[in-house]
C-alpha cells in the first residue's frame, strides 16, 4: 500500500478533561466500540474491582486517577485509530501538554453537572496554541445536570471557541432516553449497558413519527422544540473551521451507559484530520515525505514491573518506520536500530514490523533517549515545540536509606527523564532538587521510588518562586551573574544553567540589575552551557 493510503487510514487523537469528567471511561468505551475489548473493565464484578483498561500503574489503581499518558490503538470502520488517554489531574498538565504535540486532534470531555472547570480552560489554552481541532463530548447525561443550551453558552464564553451541536440529548438524568443525531436527522433510543455495546437501538428518521410520542411522552415535544431552536440559532457545521481549530462540534451522551458514543465516533471518523505536518528547526516536515522521521514525546520506566524495562514513545511524522533498520539519533549523532518496536493496547504490547505517520510506537530504551529527541533517516533537523516549563513547587531530595544510594540515584534520574518532574543539581555539594507543577507528583515519585527501585526518600520544601533558564551575548555580565548568584544557580538534567529566583520581586530586581541577560520560563531556546 502506498504511503499516502496508509496516512489517510490513520487518526491520532487525545482525550483530555478536568479530573472526574469521565475521560478514562470514555476511552474504554471507544475501545469497546472499536472491538478492541469485549467488556468494559471499570465495573465491579464478583466483589473484585476491575480497573480501567488505560490505568495500569499501581498508584493509578489505588487513587482512581490517571497520572500517566496511555497509548492505545484500535480499528473502526477501516480506520486505524491511535488514542492517547492523558492525565486529567492539573499536577500532570505538562505530561498532557507534551502528549498534545503528538496528536492531530482532541476530544474534550465535559461533565454536564459541573460544566467548564479550571483544568478544562487550561487544556483548551494549550489546544489553541497549536490550533488543534477539538470535538467536545458533554458526558454524564444520565445524571441531573445543567441545561444543554446553558452548557453550550458556557463553552463559547469560557473556552473562547465557537460551538456547533451535532447531537442532542433526549431528556436528562432520570428521563435521559438517548440522542438525536443532528447531522443524520435521526433519533436513537438506547438500552442502558455499562459493560457492553448498547444493543436493540431503536432508530427513527422522522421527528414527527407518532410512535415517538408513545415512547417518549412529553420529551418528544421538548425534543422537537430543542431541535428547531438549535437549527435556528447555529450555522451549519463547517468542517474547515473545525480543522482550523476555530469551531468545536459538540456531542452529548453518557459514557458509563454507552449513550451517544457511536454518534460521536462515526462523525469523528468522517471529520477528524489525518496525520499532519510537524515543525522542525528546518521548516515543516510533510507526512508524505519519503524519508522516515519522528520524535520522542514521552518516556516511561517500568511499564511492566516484572521486567525493569524503559520505553520511549515515538510519534511517527513522515516516511515509514521499519523494525531492525538503522535510524539516526540527531542529538547523539549516532545510528540506532530497534529489534522490538511495539504498538500498545494500554499495558499490553505487540511487536510491529513497520509504522506510518500518525502511529505511536514504543521503543525499548537503554538510556539513549530524552523527551524531545528526534529520529530520522539520516537528516539532522530537530522537531520543535516540546519544552520543559518552569516548575511551581521545589523540594530537596533527602535519602532516607544511605545503603540504597545507587537505587535512589538511578530512580530519580529515570523518573525525571520521563517528564514527571524536573531534576536540578546544586553546583556546590551535589544536592538534588526536584521541581514540579503540583504536590501530587511528589507523592507519585515517592511511591514509585519505593515500589520500583526499593529506595526511600523524604522531600524538604524549598522557597523558590521560579526556575529560569538564561542566555546572554554579554559574556562579562553573564560570568559576573553566575559568580555572584552561585548559591541560586543549578544544573538541569541536560547540564544547562538555571537560576532559582526566590520571589517575584527578587526576579524583577535581578532582571533590572542584569539588563543584557534574557531569562526564559521554558527550556526551548539555545541554552547556556555549564
How would residue 468 be classed by pLDDT, with cut points 50, 70 and 90? very high
At 272 the pLDDT is 96
Question: 215, 202 in Cβ contact below 8 A?
Answer: yes
Domain at 278-376: CATH code: 3.40.50.300
Answer with the residue of higher pLDDT: 17 or 111: 111
What's the average model confidence in pLDDT over 366-381?
91
At 50 the pLDDT is 38
Q: For residue 159, what is the DSSP state?
A: H
- Within 8 A by CB and 6+ apart from 369, the residues are 296, 299, 312, 329, 363
Alpha-carbon distance values, 388 to 95, 297, 437, 528 (Å): 10, 11, 11, 15
How would residue 478 be classed by pLDDT, with cut points 50, 70 and 90? very high
At 186 the pLDDT is 86
- Within 8 A by CB and 6+ apart from 262, the residues are 33, 188, 198
Answer with the residue of higher pLDDT: 124 or 329: 329
Please name the fold of domain 393-520: Alpha-Beta Plaits (3.30.70)
Percentage with pLDDT > 70 across the chain = 85
Question: 297, 288 in Cβ contact below 8 A?
Answer: no
Q: If DSSP codes are grouped into helix, strand and coil, which group holds residue 113? A: coil
At 1 the pLDDT is 65
CB burial of residue 473 (10 Å; 0-12, 13-18, 19+): exposed
**Where, residue-wise, is CATH 3.30.70.3280 in the chain?**
393-520
CA distance 78 to 6: 11
How would residue 44 be classed by pLDDT, with cut points 50, 70 and 90? very low
Cell of 209: 413519527
**Where, residue-wise, is CATH 3.40.50.300 in the chain?**
3-70+91-271, 278-376
Percentage with pLDDT > 90 across the chain = 51
Whether the per-residue pLDDT at 67 is higher than 60: the answer is no
Answer with the residue of higher pLDDT: 366 or 86: 366
Whether the per-residue pLDDT at 35 is higher than 90: the answer is no
At 522 the pLDDT is 76
Overall size of the chain counted in residues: 530
Q: If DSSP codes are grouped into helix, strand and coil, which group holds residue 397? A: strand
- Within 8 A by CB and 6+ apart from 49, the residues are none
CA dihedral 227, 232, 238, 241 (to 10 degrees): -110
Q: Which CATH number among 3.30.470.10, 3.40.50.300, 3.40.250.10, 3.50.50.60 corresponds to the domain 3-70+91-271?
A: 3.40.50.300
Whether the per-residue pLDDT at 394 is higher than 50: the answer is yes
Model confidence pLDDT, tens digit, residues 213-236: 888 888 888 999 999 999 999 999
Q: If DSSP codes are grouped into helix, strand and coil, which group holds residue 64? A: coil
At 379 the pLDDT is 94
Can you give the pTM of this predicted structure?
0.78
Question: 197, 258 in Cβ contact below 8 A?
Answer: yes
At 161 the pLDDT is 93
Amino acid at each position: 500500500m502506498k504511503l499516502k493510503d496508509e496516512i489517510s487510514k490513520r487518526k491520532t487523537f487525545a482525550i483530555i478533561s478536568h479530573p472526574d469528567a469521565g475521560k478514562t471511561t470514555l476511552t474504554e468505551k471507544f475501545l469497546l466500540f472499536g472491538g478492541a475489548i469485549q467488556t468494559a473493565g471499570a465495573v465491579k464484578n464478583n466483589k473484585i474491582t476491575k480497573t480501567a483498561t488505560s490505568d495500569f500503574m499501581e498508584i493509578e489503581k489505588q487513587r482512581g486517577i490517571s497520572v500517566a499518558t496511555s497509548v492505545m490503538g484500535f480499528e473502526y470502520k477501516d480506520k486505524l485509530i491511535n488514542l492517547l488517554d492523558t492525565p486529567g489531574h492539573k499536577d500532570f498538565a505538562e505530561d498532557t501538554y507534551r502528549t498534545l504535540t503528538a496528536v492531530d486532534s482532541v476530544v474534550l470531555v465535559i461533565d454536564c453537572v459541573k460544566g467548564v472547570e479550571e483544568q478544562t480552560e487550561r487544556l483548551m489554552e494549550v489546544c489553541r496554541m497549536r490550533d488543534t481541532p477539538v470535538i467536545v463530548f458533554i458526558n454524564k447525561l444520565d445524571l441531573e445536570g445543567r441545561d444543554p443550551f446553558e452548557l453550550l453558552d458556557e463553552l463559547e464564553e469560557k473556552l473562547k471557541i465557537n460551538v456547533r451541536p451535532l447531537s442532542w440529548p433526549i431528556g436528562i438524568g432520570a428521563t435521559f432516553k438517548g440522542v438525536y443525531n443532528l447531522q443524520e436527522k435521526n433519533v436513537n433510543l438506547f438500552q442502558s449497558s455499562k459493560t457492553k455495546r448498547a444493543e436493540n437501538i431503536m432508530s427513527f428518521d422522522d421527528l414527527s413519527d407518532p410512535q415517538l410520542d408513545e415512547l417518549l411522552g412529553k420529551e418528544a415535544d421538548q425534543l422537537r422544540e430543542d431541535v428547531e431552536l438549535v437549527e435556528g440559532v447555529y450555522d451549519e457545521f463547517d468542517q474547515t473551521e473545525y480543522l482550523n481549530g476555530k469551531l468545536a462540534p459538540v456531542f452529548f451522551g453518557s459514557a458509563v451507559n454507552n449513550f451517544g458514543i457511536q454518534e460521536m465516533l462515526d462523525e469523528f471518523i468522517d471529520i477528524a484530520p489525518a496525520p499532519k505536518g510537524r515543525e522542525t528547526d528546518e521548516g515543516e516536515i510533510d507526512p508524505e515525505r519519503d524519508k522516515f522521521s519522528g520524535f520522542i514525546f514521552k518516556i516511561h520506566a517500568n511499564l511492566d514491573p516484572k521486567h525493569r524495562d524503559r520505553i520511549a514513545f515515538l510519534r511517527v511524522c513522515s516516511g515509514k518506520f521499519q523494525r531492525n533498520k538503522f535510524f539516526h539519533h540527531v542529538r547523539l549523532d549516532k545510528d540506532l536500530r530497534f529489534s522490538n518496536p511495539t504498538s500498545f493496547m494500554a499495558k499490553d504490547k505487540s511487536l510491529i514490523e513497520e509504522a506510518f505517520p500518525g502511529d505511536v510506537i514504543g521503543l525499548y530504551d537503554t538510556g539513549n533517549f530524552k523527551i524531545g529527541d528526534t529520529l530520522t533517516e539520516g537528516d539532522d533537523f530537530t522537531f520543535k515545540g516540546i519544552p520543559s516549563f518552569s516548575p511551581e513547587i521545589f523540594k530537596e531530595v533527602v535519602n532516607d536509606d544511605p545503603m540504597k544510594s545507587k537505587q535512589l540515584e538511578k530512580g530519580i534520574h529515570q523518573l525525571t527523564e520521563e517528564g514527571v518532574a524536573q531534576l536540578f543539581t546544586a553546583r556546590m555539594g551535589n544536592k538534588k532538587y526536584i521541581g514540579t507543577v503540583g504536590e501530587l507528583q511528589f507523592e507519585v515519585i515517592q511511591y514509585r521510588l519505593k515500589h520500583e527501585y526499593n529506595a526511600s526518600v523524604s522531600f524538604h520544601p524549598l522557597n523558590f518562586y521560579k526556575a529560569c533558564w538564561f542566555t546572554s551575548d554579554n559574556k562579562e555580565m553573564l560570568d559576573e551573574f553566575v559568580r555572584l548568584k552561585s548559591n541560586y544557580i543549578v544544573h538541569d538534567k541536560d547540564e544547562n544553567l538555571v537560576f532559582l529566583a526566590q520571589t517575584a520581586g527578587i526576579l524583577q530586581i535581578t532582571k533590572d540589575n542584569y539588563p543584557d541577560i534574557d531569562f526564559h520560563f521554558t527550556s526551548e531556546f539555545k541554552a547556556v552551557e555549564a
